[in-house]
Structure 1
Amino acid sequence: MPKFAANLTMLFNEVPFLERFALAAKAGFKGVEYLFPYDFDKEALRAALDLHGLRQVLHNLPAGNWAGGERGIAILPDRVDEFRRGVASAIDYATALGCKQVNCLSGIAPVGASDEVLRSTFVANLKLAATELGKHGIKLLIEPINRFDIPGFYLNTPDQAASIIAEVGSDNLFIQYDLYHQQRTEGELIGTFKKHQAKITHVQLADNPGRNEPGTGEIAYGFVFKALDALGYDGWIGCEYKPRTTTEEGLGWLAEVGR
Protein backbone atom coordinates (compact mmCIF):
# COMPACT_ATOMS: atom_id res chain seq x y z
CA MET A 1 0.00 0.00 0.00
CA PRO A 2 1.49 3.38 -0.95
CA LYS A 3 2.56 5.80 1.75
CA PHE A 4 2.26 9.57 1.41
CA ALA A 5 5.14 11.98 2.03
CA ALA A 6 4.77 15.73 2.45
CA ASN A 7 6.80 17.78 0.02
CA LEU A 8 8.05 20.52 2.33
CA THR A 9 9.15 22.76 -0.53
CA MET A 10 5.51 23.24 -1.48
CA LEU A 11 3.44 22.31 1.59
CA PHE A 12 3.28 24.36 4.80
CA ASN A 13 5.37 27.02 3.06
CA GLU A 14 3.73 29.79 5.03
CA VAL A 15 6.11 28.98 7.91
CA PRO A 16 9.93 28.80 8.10
CA PHE A 17 11.32 25.60 6.63
CA LEU A 18 12.43 23.84 9.79
CA GLU A 19 8.99 24.39 11.33
CA ARG A 20 7.31 22.47 8.52
CA PHE A 21 8.43 19.08 9.87
CA ALA A 22 6.19 19.46 12.92
CA LEU A 23 3.22 20.45 10.77
CA ALA A 24 3.75 17.49 8.44
CA ALA A 25 3.76 15.08 11.37
CA LYS A 26 0.69 16.72 12.90
CA ALA A 27 -1.15 16.30 9.59
CA GLY A 28 -0.44 12.57 9.66
CA PHE A 29 2.45 12.28 7.20
CA LYS A 30 5.11 9.70 8.04
CA GLY A 31 7.67 10.86 5.50
CA VAL A 32 8.93 14.08 3.94
CA GLU A 33 10.68 15.12 0.75
CA TYR A 34 11.85 18.47 -0.58
CA LEU A 35 13.92 19.83 -3.41
CA PHE A 36 17.27 20.46 -1.71
CA PRO A 37 18.74 20.10 1.79
CA TYR A 38 22.02 21.87 1.07
CA ASP A 39 21.18 25.30 2.51
CA PHE A 40 20.56 23.76 5.93
CA ASP A 41 22.78 22.16 8.52
CA LYS A 42 22.37 18.41 8.13
CA GLU A 43 22.40 17.85 11.89
CA ALA A 44 19.47 20.28 12.26
CA LEU A 45 17.54 18.44 9.55
CA ARG A 46 18.29 15.08 11.16
CA ALA A 47 17.10 16.41 14.52
CA ALA A 48 13.82 17.63 12.99
CA LEU A 49 13.21 14.21 11.44
CA ASP A 50 13.93 12.39 14.68
CA LEU A 51 11.93 14.77 16.85
CA HIS A 52 8.79 14.28 14.79
CA GLY A 53 9.21 10.63 13.85
CA LEU A 54 9.57 11.31 10.14
CA ARG A 55 11.51 9.57 7.37
CA GLN A 56 13.49 11.47 4.78
CA VAL A 57 12.11 9.90 1.60
CA LEU A 58 13.79 11.86 -1.17
CA HIS A 59 15.80 14.91 -2.12
CA ASN A 60 17.50 16.03 -5.33
CA LEU A 61 21.10 16.23 -6.38
CA PRO A 62 22.35 19.83 -6.54
CA ALA A 63 20.82 21.32 -9.68
CA GLY A 64 22.82 24.44 -10.46
CA ASN A 65 21.56 27.98 -9.91
CA TRP A 66 17.93 27.26 -9.07
CA ALA A 67 17.06 30.85 -8.21
CA GLY A 68 18.54 31.88 -11.55
CA GLY A 69 16.31 29.47 -13.48
CA GLU A 70 18.54 26.44 -13.85
CA ARG A 71 16.79 23.09 -13.46
CA GLY A 72 19.66 20.66 -13.36
CA ILE A 73 23.12 20.40 -14.88
CA ALA A 74 23.44 16.69 -15.68
CA ILE A 75 23.24 17.17 -19.46
CA LEU A 76 25.69 20.08 -19.65
CA PRO A 77 29.18 19.06 -20.83
CA ASP A 78 30.84 22.15 -19.34
CA ARG A 79 29.45 21.41 -15.84
CA VAL A 80 30.69 17.84 -15.33
CA ASP A 81 33.07 18.73 -12.50
CA GLU A 82 30.30 20.62 -10.72
CA PHE A 83 27.98 17.64 -11.18
CA ARG A 84 30.53 15.31 -9.61
CA ARG A 85 30.94 17.61 -6.62
CA GLY A 86 27.18 17.60 -6.31
CA VAL A 87 27.12 13.81 -6.14
CA ALA A 88 29.53 13.95 -3.21
CA SER A 89 27.35 16.55 -1.44
CA ALA A 90 24.23 14.47 -2.04
CA ILE A 91 25.88 11.40 -0.53
CA ASP A 92 26.97 13.44 2.49
CA TYR A 93 23.45 14.71 3.17
CA ALA A 94 21.56 11.56 2.23
CA THR A 95 23.75 9.47 4.50
CA ALA A 96 23.26 11.85 7.42
CA LEU A 97 19.48 11.98 6.86
CA GLY A 98 18.95 8.28 6.25
CA CYS A 99 17.61 9.08 2.78
CA LYS A 100 17.70 6.07 0.44
CA GLN A 101 16.70 7.80 -2.81
CA VAL A 102 18.17 10.83 -4.59
CA ASN A 103 16.69 12.36 -7.74
CA CYS A 104 18.72 13.79 -10.61
CA LEU A 105 17.16 16.62 -12.62
CA SER A 106 18.50 16.46 -16.17
CA GLY A 107 18.41 20.19 -16.90
CA ILE A 108 17.21 22.48 -19.69
CA ALA A 109 18.74 21.88 -23.10
CA PRO A 110 20.64 24.93 -24.37
CA VAL A 111 19.24 26.28 -27.64
CA GLY A 112 21.06 24.74 -30.57
CA ALA A 113 22.94 22.17 -28.50
CA SER A 114 23.64 18.77 -30.01
CA ASP A 115 21.29 16.10 -28.65
CA GLU A 116 24.06 13.56 -29.09
CA VAL A 117 26.38 15.56 -26.84
CA LEU A 118 23.68 16.24 -24.25
CA ARG A 119 22.65 12.60 -24.08
CA SER A 120 26.19 11.26 -23.90
CA THR A 121 26.97 13.73 -21.08
CA PHE A 122 23.81 12.71 -19.24
CA VAL A 123 24.59 9.00 -19.61
CA ALA A 124 28.19 9.42 -18.40
CA ASN A 125 27.11 11.49 -15.40
CA LEU A 126 24.40 8.98 -14.49
CA LYS A 127 26.86 6.10 -14.68
CA LEU A 128 29.14 7.85 -12.22
CA ALA A 129 26.34 8.94 -9.89
CA ALA A 130 24.63 5.54 -9.87
CA THR A 131 27.91 3.85 -8.99
CA GLU A 132 28.90 6.29 -6.25
CA LEU A 133 25.43 6.43 -4.67
CA GLY A 134 25.14 2.66 -4.85
CA LYS A 135 28.25 2.29 -2.69
CA HIS A 136 26.21 3.89 0.10
CA GLY A 137 22.97 2.01 -0.51
CA ILE A 138 21.28 5.05 -2.12
CA LYS A 139 19.17 4.71 -5.26
CA LEU A 140 19.52 7.19 -8.11
CA LEU A 141 16.33 8.37 -9.82
CA ILE A 142 15.64 10.42 -12.93
CA GLU A 143 12.39 12.34 -13.42
CA PRO A 144 10.52 13.10 -16.65
CA ILE A 145 9.05 16.63 -16.48
CA ASN A 146 6.59 18.25 -18.88
CA ARG A 147 7.79 21.02 -21.19
CA PHE A 148 4.87 23.30 -20.43
CA ASP A 149 6.04 23.95 -16.87
CA ILE A 150 9.74 23.89 -17.73
CA PRO A 151 10.22 24.72 -21.42
CA GLY A 152 13.20 22.93 -22.91
CA PHE A 153 13.58 20.41 -20.08
CA TYR A 154 15.55 17.53 -21.54
CA LEU A 155 13.82 14.49 -20.03
CA ASN A 156 10.09 14.42 -20.73
CA THR A 157 8.67 10.89 -20.84
CA PRO A 158 9.09 7.55 -19.06
CA ASP A 159 9.91 5.92 -22.41
CA GLN A 160 12.82 8.33 -22.83
CA ALA A 161 13.90 7.66 -19.25
CA ALA A 162 13.78 3.91 -19.82
CA SER A 163 15.92 4.28 -22.95
CA ILE A 164 18.52 6.26 -21.02
CA ILE A 165 18.48 3.77 -18.16
CA ALA A 166 19.12 0.95 -20.63
CA GLU A 167 22.07 2.86 -22.11
CA VAL A 168 23.54 3.59 -18.69
CA GLY A 169 23.35 -0.12 -17.87
CA SER A 170 23.27 0.27 -14.09
CA ASP A 171 21.05 -1.69 -11.73
CA ASN A 172 20.98 1.40 -9.47
CA LEU A 173 19.11 3.79 -11.76
CA PHE A 174 15.33 4.18 -11.55
CA ILE A 175 12.39 6.39 -12.57
CA GLN A 176 10.63 8.97 -10.44
CA TYR A 177 7.08 8.91 -11.82
CA ASP A 178 5.23 12.18 -11.35
CA LEU A 179 1.53 11.77 -12.11
CA TYR A 180 1.04 15.48 -12.74
CA HIS A 181 3.83 15.69 -15.30
CA GLN A 182 2.65 12.49 -16.96
CA GLN A 183 -0.90 13.85 -17.23
CA ARG A 184 0.32 17.04 -18.89
CA THR A 185 2.67 15.19 -21.25
CA GLU A 186 0.86 12.01 -22.31
CA GLY A 187 -1.92 10.94 -19.93
CA GLU A 188 -2.31 7.14 -19.69
CA LEU A 189 -1.34 7.33 -16.02
CA ILE A 190 -1.88 3.72 -15.02
CA GLY A 191 -0.97 2.13 -18.36
CA THR A 192 2.34 3.97 -18.37
CA PHE A 193 2.98 3.07 -14.74
CA LYS A 194 2.40 -0.62 -15.52
CA LYS A 195 4.73 -0.46 -18.52
CA HIS A 196 7.61 0.90 -16.43
CA GLN A 197 6.70 -0.41 -12.98
CA ALA A 198 9.85 -2.51 -12.64
CA LYS A 199 11.92 0.69 -12.72
CA ILE A 200 9.62 3.04 -10.78
CA THR A 201 10.64 3.45 -7.16
CA HIS A 202 8.99 6.77 -6.30
CA VAL A 203 5.73 8.47 -7.32
CA GLN A 204 4.67 12.10 -6.97
CA LEU A 205 1.28 13.75 -7.37
CA ALA A 206 -0.61 16.96 -8.02
CA ASP A 207 -3.85 17.57 -9.87
CA ASN A 208 -4.24 19.22 -13.25
CA PRO A 209 -4.85 22.00 -14.19
CA GLY A 210 -3.30 24.20 -11.54
CA ARG A 211 -0.96 21.71 -9.86
CA ASN A 212 -3.14 21.85 -6.75
CA GLU A 213 -4.18 19.10 -4.34
CA PRO A 214 -6.02 15.93 -5.47
CA GLY A 215 -9.69 16.54 -6.09
CA THR A 216 -9.28 20.01 -7.57
CA GLY A 217 -8.79 18.96 -11.19
CA GLU A 218 -9.25 16.32 -13.85
CA ILE A 219 -7.26 13.39 -12.43
CA ALA A 220 -9.43 10.67 -10.86
CA TYR A 221 -7.17 10.12 -7.89
CA GLY A 222 -9.53 7.69 -6.17
CA PHE A 223 -9.13 5.41 -9.17
CA VAL A 224 -5.38 6.03 -9.37
CA PHE A 225 -4.74 5.12 -5.72
CA LYS A 226 -6.80 1.92 -6.00
CA ALA A 227 -4.97 0.97 -9.18
CA LEU A 228 -1.55 1.51 -7.60
CA ASP A 229 -2.64 -0.62 -4.63
CA ALA A 230 -3.87 -3.35 -6.97
CA LEU A 231 -0.57 -3.30 -8.87
CA GLY A 232 1.32 -3.85 -5.62
CA TYR A 233 3.05 -0.48 -5.44
CA ASP A 234 4.09 -0.07 -1.82
CA GLY A 235 6.54 2.80 -2.15
CA TRP A 236 6.14 6.45 -1.26
CA ILE A 237 3.95 8.99 -3.02
CA GLY A 238 5.31 12.50 -2.64
CA CYS A 239 2.67 15.20 -2.36
CA GLU A 240 4.30 17.83 -4.54
CA TYR A 241 1.40 20.19 -5.12
CA LYS A 242 0.58 23.85 -4.57
CA PRO A 243 -2.22 24.16 -1.98
CA ARG A 244 -5.13 26.05 -3.50
CA THR A 245 -5.57 27.95 -0.21
CA THR A 246 -3.59 26.68 2.77
CA THR A 247 -2.08 23.24 3.20
CA GLU A 248 -4.30 22.42 6.18
CA GLU A 249 -7.51 23.46 4.40
CA GLY A 250 -6.63 21.29 1.43
CA LEU A 251 -5.88 18.04 3.28
CA GLY A 252 -9.40 16.64 3.08
CA TRP A 253 -8.35 14.36 0.23
CA LEU A 254 -5.82 12.63 2.51
CA ALA A 255 -8.49 11.78 5.08
CA GLU A 256 -10.74 10.46 2.32
CA VAL A 257 -8.18 7.87 1.23
CA GLY A 258 -7.64 6.76 4.82
CA ARG A 259 -4.00 7.74 5.25
Structure 2
Amino acid sequence: MMRIRFSANLGFLWNERPLPQAVRAAARSGFDAVELHWPYAVEPALLRQALAGSALPVLGLNTTRGDPEAGEFGLSALPGREKDARAAIDRALAYAAEIGAASVHVMAGKTDHPDARATFIGNLRYAADRAAPMKTTILLEPLNSHDVPGYFLTDNALAARLIGEAARDNIRIMFDCYHVGRSGKPVLEEFTAHRALIGHVQFAAVPDRSEPDHGHVDYATLLPALAESGYQGHFGAEYRPRGTTEDGLGWLARWR
Protein backbone atom coordinates (compact mmCIF):
# COMPACT_ATOMS: atom_id res chain seq x y z
CA MET A 1 0.00 0.00 0.00
CA MET A 2 1.36 3.41 -0.91
CA ARG A 3 2.15 5.81 1.91
CA ILE A 4 0.08 8.98 1.81
CA ARG A 5 2.00 12.12 2.74
CA PHE A 6 0.24 14.66 4.94
CA SER A 7 0.97 18.36 5.36
CA ALA A 8 -0.08 20.39 8.40
CA ASN A 9 -1.67 23.70 7.54
CA LEU A 10 -0.36 25.96 10.29
CA GLY A 11 -2.92 28.63 9.55
CA PHE A 12 -5.35 26.42 11.51
CA LEU A 13 -3.27 23.76 13.31
CA TRP A 14 -1.31 24.90 16.38
CA ASN A 15 -2.17 28.49 15.47
CA GLU A 16 -2.12 29.48 19.15
CA ARG A 17 1.67 28.94 19.15
CA PRO A 18 4.42 31.03 17.61
CA LEU A 19 4.96 29.75 14.08
CA PRO A 20 8.42 28.21 14.65
CA GLN A 21 6.98 26.24 17.59
CA ALA A 22 4.05 25.12 15.43
CA VAL A 23 6.51 23.77 12.85
CA ARG A 24 8.22 21.71 15.52
CA ALA A 25 4.88 20.43 16.83
CA ALA A 26 3.91 19.29 13.33
CA ALA A 27 7.17 17.38 13.01
CA ARG A 28 6.74 15.69 16.39
CA SER A 29 3.20 14.67 15.47
CA GLY A 30 4.30 12.88 12.31
CA PHE A 31 3.40 15.27 9.51
CA ASP A 32 5.52 15.13 6.39
CA ALA A 33 5.39 18.84 5.52
CA VAL A 34 3.83 22.14 6.54
CA GLU A 35 1.98 24.88 4.68
CA LEU A 36 1.14 28.42 5.75
CA HIS A 37 -1.47 31.14 5.41
CA TRP A 38 0.10 34.54 6.15
CA PRO A 39 3.44 34.11 7.95
CA TYR A 40 4.72 37.62 7.27
CA ALA A 41 4.91 38.79 10.89
CA VAL A 42 7.58 36.15 11.54
CA GLU A 43 11.17 36.82 10.55
CA PRO A 44 11.98 34.39 7.70
CA ALA A 45 15.27 33.42 9.36
CA LEU A 46 13.45 32.16 12.47
CA LEU A 47 11.05 30.12 10.39
CA ARG A 48 13.83 28.80 8.19
CA GLN A 49 15.71 27.64 11.27
CA ALA A 50 12.66 25.78 12.60
CA LEU A 51 12.06 24.14 9.25
CA ALA A 52 15.67 23.02 8.96
CA GLY A 53 15.69 21.65 12.50
CA SER A 54 12.47 19.74 11.88
CA ALA A 55 13.51 18.50 8.42
CA LEU A 56 10.10 19.43 7.03
CA PRO A 57 9.54 21.02 3.62
CA VAL A 58 7.23 24.02 3.42
CA LEU A 59 4.76 23.67 0.57
CA GLY A 60 3.37 27.16 0.23
CA LEU A 61 1.85 30.36 1.56
CA ASN A 62 -0.81 32.87 0.54
CA THR A 63 -0.60 36.39 -0.77
CA THR A 64 -1.92 38.88 1.78
CA ARG A 65 -5.66 39.51 2.08
CA GLY A 66 -5.43 43.28 1.76
CA ASP A 67 -7.41 45.03 4.48
CA PRO A 68 -9.31 42.36 6.46
CA GLU A 69 -11.07 45.01 8.56
CA ALA A 70 -12.60 46.33 5.34
CA GLY A 71 -13.67 42.80 4.40
CA GLU A 72 -10.93 42.21 1.84
CA PHE A 73 -9.89 38.62 1.19
CA GLY A 74 -7.34 38.94 -1.56
CA LEU A 75 -6.60 41.57 -4.18
CA SER A 76 -5.67 40.02 -7.50
CA ALA A 77 -9.09 40.09 -9.17
CA LEU A 78 -9.94 43.62 -8.01
CA PRO A 79 -9.85 46.16 -10.86
CA GLY A 80 -7.97 49.29 -9.85
CA ARG A 81 -5.93 47.46 -7.21
CA GLU A 82 -3.27 46.09 -9.53
CA LYS A 83 -0.44 47.97 -7.80
CA ASP A 84 -1.42 46.58 -4.40
CA ALA A 85 -1.99 43.11 -5.79
CA ARG A 86 1.40 42.98 -7.44
CA ALA A 87 3.11 44.29 -4.34
CA ALA A 88 1.45 41.44 -2.42
CA ILE A 89 2.64 38.96 -5.05
CA ASP A 90 6.19 40.29 -4.87
CA ARG A 91 6.15 40.10 -1.08
CA ALA A 92 4.85 36.52 -1.11
CA LEU A 93 7.41 35.37 -3.66
CA ALA A 94 10.25 37.00 -1.74
CA TYR A 95 9.14 35.38 1.51
CA ALA A 96 8.70 32.02 -0.23
CA ALA A 97 12.25 32.27 -1.56
CA GLU A 98 13.58 33.07 1.93
CA ILE A 99 12.03 29.97 3.52
CA GLY A 100 12.16 27.62 0.52
CA ALA A 101 8.41 27.41 -0.06
CA ALA A 102 7.44 25.59 -3.25
CA SER A 103 4.33 27.60 -4.14
CA VAL A 104 2.38 30.80 -3.64
CA HIS A 105 -1.41 30.94 -3.59
CA VAL A 106 -2.53 34.14 -5.34
CA MET A 107 -5.78 35.16 -3.66
CA ALA A 108 -8.41 36.54 -6.02
CA GLY A 109 -10.54 38.54 -3.60
CA LYS A 110 -14.20 39.49 -3.39
CA THR A 111 -15.63 41.19 -6.45
CA ASP A 112 -18.31 40.92 -9.13
CA HIS A 113 -16.83 43.67 -11.28
CA PRO A 114 -17.12 42.94 -15.02
CA ASP A 115 -13.38 43.46 -15.43
CA ALA A 116 -12.44 41.10 -12.62
CA ARG A 117 -11.60 38.20 -14.91
CA ALA A 118 -9.20 40.20 -17.08
CA THR A 119 -7.63 41.75 -13.98
CA PHE A 120 -7.08 38.37 -12.37
CA ILE A 121 -5.56 36.89 -15.53
CA GLY A 122 -3.18 39.84 -15.80
CA ASN A 123 -2.06 39.43 -12.22
CA LEU A 124 -1.69 35.66 -12.59
CA ARG A 125 0.58 36.21 -15.57
CA TYR A 126 2.59 38.72 -13.58
CA ALA A 127 2.93 36.26 -10.69
CA ALA A 128 3.82 33.34 -12.94
CA ASP A 129 6.47 35.32 -14.80
CA ARG A 130 8.04 36.49 -11.55
CA ALA A 131 7.88 32.97 -10.09
CA ALA A 132 9.32 31.12 -13.06
CA PRO A 133 13.03 31.90 -12.42
CA MET A 134 12.54 30.76 -8.81
CA LYS A 135 10.92 27.46 -9.89
CA THR A 136 7.91 28.46 -7.77
CA THR A 137 4.40 27.28 -8.60
CA ILE A 138 1.50 29.74 -8.60
CA LEU A 139 -1.72 28.33 -7.17
CA LEU A 140 -5.29 29.60 -7.41
CA GLU A 141 -7.98 28.19 -5.18
CA PRO A 142 -11.77 28.21 -5.65
CA LEU A 143 -13.54 28.94 -2.34
CA ASN A 144 -17.12 28.07 -1.49
CA SER A 145 -19.64 30.88 -1.29
CA HIS A 146 -20.93 29.84 2.16
CA ASP A 147 -17.63 30.58 3.86
CA VAL A 148 -16.51 33.48 1.68
CA PRO A 149 -19.56 35.21 0.15
CA GLY A 150 -18.67 37.31 -2.87
CA TYR A 151 -15.35 35.63 -3.61
CA PHE A 152 -14.54 35.88 -7.30
CA LEU A 153 -13.34 32.31 -7.80
CA THR A 154 -15.76 29.62 -6.61
CA ASP A 155 -15.48 26.91 -9.26
CA ASN A 156 -12.71 24.59 -10.45
CA ALA A 157 -13.98 24.74 -14.03
CA LEU A 158 -13.49 28.52 -14.01
CA ALA A 159 -10.05 28.07 -12.47
CA ALA A 160 -9.12 25.72 -15.31
CA ARG A 161 -10.31 28.24 -17.91
CA LEU A 162 -8.34 31.04 -16.23
CA ILE A 163 -5.19 28.94 -16.30
CA GLY A 164 -5.73 28.30 -19.99
CA GLU A 165 -6.20 31.98 -20.69
CA ALA A 166 -3.20 32.99 -18.59
CA ALA A 167 -1.12 30.59 -20.71
CA ARG A 168 1.67 30.01 -18.22
CA ASP A 169 3.07 26.58 -17.41
CA ASN A 170 3.61 27.18 -13.69
CA ILE A 171 0.02 27.93 -12.64
CA ARG A 172 -2.01 25.16 -11.00
CA ILE A 173 -5.23 24.65 -9.04
CA MET A 174 -5.18 24.26 -5.28
CA PHE A 175 -7.95 21.68 -5.02
CA ASP A 176 -9.62 21.89 -1.63
CA CYS A 177 -11.91 18.90 -1.05
CA TYR A 178 -13.69 20.81 1.71
CA HIS A 179 -14.62 23.74 -0.52
CA VAL A 180 -15.78 21.37 -3.28
CA GLY A 181 -17.89 19.31 -0.89
CA ARG A 182 -19.28 22.38 0.87
CA SER A 183 -20.39 23.64 -2.55
CA GLY A 184 -22.41 20.44 -2.97
CA LYS A 185 -20.28 18.94 -5.74
CA PRO A 186 -18.98 15.36 -5.91
CA VAL A 187 -15.35 15.61 -4.84
CA LEU A 188 -13.95 12.63 -6.73
CA GLU A 189 -15.66 13.65 -9.98
CA GLU A 190 -14.38 17.21 -9.67
CA PHE A 191 -10.88 15.98 -8.96
CA THR A 192 -10.94 13.60 -11.92
CA ALA A 193 -12.21 16.31 -14.26
CA HIS A 194 -9.35 18.68 -13.39
CA ARG A 195 -6.60 16.26 -12.40
CA ALA A 196 -4.10 17.49 -15.01
CA LEU A 197 -4.15 21.01 -13.55
CA ILE A 198 -4.13 20.21 -9.83
CA GLY A 199 -0.99 21.25 -7.99
CA HIS A 200 -2.00 20.66 -4.38
CA VAL A 201 -4.88 19.03 -2.47
CA GLN A 202 -6.34 20.12 0.87
CA PHE A 203 -9.07 18.57 3.00
CA ALA A 204 -11.31 19.01 6.04
CA ALA A 205 -14.60 17.59 7.25
CA VAL A 206 -17.71 18.66 5.34
CA PRO A 207 -19.66 20.67 6.40
CA ASP A 208 -18.08 21.79 9.70
CA ARG A 209 -14.41 22.05 8.57
CA SER A 210 -13.09 20.26 11.63
CA GLU A 211 -11.13 16.98 11.88
CA PRO A 212 -11.55 14.92 8.71
CA ASP A 213 -12.64 11.66 10.34
CA HIS A 214 -16.37 12.38 10.09
CA GLY A 215 -18.84 14.27 7.91
CA HIS A 216 -20.21 13.92 4.39
CA VAL A 217 -16.90 13.03 2.72
CA ASP A 218 -15.26 9.67 3.51
CA TYR A 219 -11.62 10.72 3.38
CA ALA A 220 -10.34 7.33 4.53
CA THR A 221 -11.53 6.07 1.15
CA LEU A 222 -11.19 9.25 -0.93
CA LEU A 223 -7.57 10.18 -0.24
CA PRO A 224 -6.16 6.75 -1.18
CA ALA A 225 -8.31 6.90 -4.33
CA LEU A 226 -6.79 10.26 -5.28
CA ALA A 227 -3.31 8.88 -4.69
CA GLU A 228 -4.08 5.77 -6.74
CA SER A 229 -5.28 8.02 -9.57
CA GLY A 230 -1.75 9.37 -9.92
CA TYR A 231 -1.69 12.38 -7.59
CA GLN A 232 1.79 12.32 -6.05
CA GLY A 233 1.70 15.42 -3.86
CA HIS A 234 0.96 15.95 -0.19
CA PHE A 235 -2.53 16.19 1.25
CA GLY A 236 -2.90 19.40 3.24
CA ALA A 237 -4.80 19.11 6.52
CA GLU A 238 -6.49 22.51 6.55
CA TYR A 239 -9.13 22.11 9.22
CA ARG A 240 -10.17 23.88 12.40
CA PRO A 241 -9.65 21.57 15.40
CA ARG A 242 -12.64 21.11 17.68
CA GLY A 243 -10.30 21.21 20.70
CA THR A 244 -6.55 21.15 20.87
CA THR A 245 -4.73 20.12 17.72
CA GLU A 246 -3.12 17.14 19.50
CA ASP A 247 -6.43 15.85 20.82
CA GLY A 248 -7.84 15.66 17.29
CA LEU A 249 -4.94 13.85 15.56
CA GLY A 250 -6.22 10.30 15.93
CA TRP A 251 -7.06 10.22 12.23
CA LEU A 252 -3.40 10.78 11.28
CA ALA A 253 -2.15 7.62 13.00
CA ARG A 254 -5.06 5.53 11.68
CA TRP A 255 -4.66 6.62 8.07
CA ARG A 256 -0.97 5.80 7.98
| TM score, norm. by length of structure 1 | 0.94
Identity of aligned residues (%): 37
Deviations 1:111-154, CA, capped at 9 Å, x for gaps: xx532x11111111111111111121001010000000000011
Q: How does 1:85-234 map to 2 (within 5 A)?
A: 85-109=87-111, 113-115=112-114, 117-234=115-232
TM-superposed deviation, 1:68: 4.3
Q: What's the secondary structure of 1:238's corresponding residue?
A: strand
Name which of 23, 26, 29 aligns with 1:24: 26
User: 2:15: which partner in 1?
Assistant: 13
Deviations 1:51-70, CA, capped at 9 Å, x for gaps: 11111111012221235431
Q: Higher relative contact order by CA 8 Å / sep ≥ 6: 1 or 2?
A: 1
Q: What's the secondary structure of 2:104's corresponding residue?
A: strand
Runs of 4+ in structure 1 deviating by more than 2 angstroms, as ranges, are: 13-18, 66-69
TM-superposed deviation, 1:251: 0.6
User: 1:48: which partner in 2?
Assistant: 50
CA contact (8 A) 1:6 1:29 kept: yes
**C-alpha distance in 2 between matches for 1:198 and 1:93:** 28
**C-alpha distance in 1 between matches for 2:123 and 2:246:** 40
In structure 1, give the amino acid aligned to 2:22.
R
In structure 2, give the amino acid aligned to 1:134.
A
Q: What's the secondary structure of 2:199's corresponding residue?
A: strand
Gaps of 5+ in 2: none
CA contact (8 A) 2:79 2:113 kept: no
- Tell me the matched-pair count: 254
**C-alpha distance in 2 between matches for 1:64 and 1:31:** 27
User: 1:255: which partner in 2?
Assistant: 253
User: 1:79: which partner in 2?
Assistant: 81
Q: What's the secondary structure of 1:107's corresponding residue?
A: coil
CA contact (8 A) 1:244 1:250 kept: yes
Gaps of 5+ in 1: none
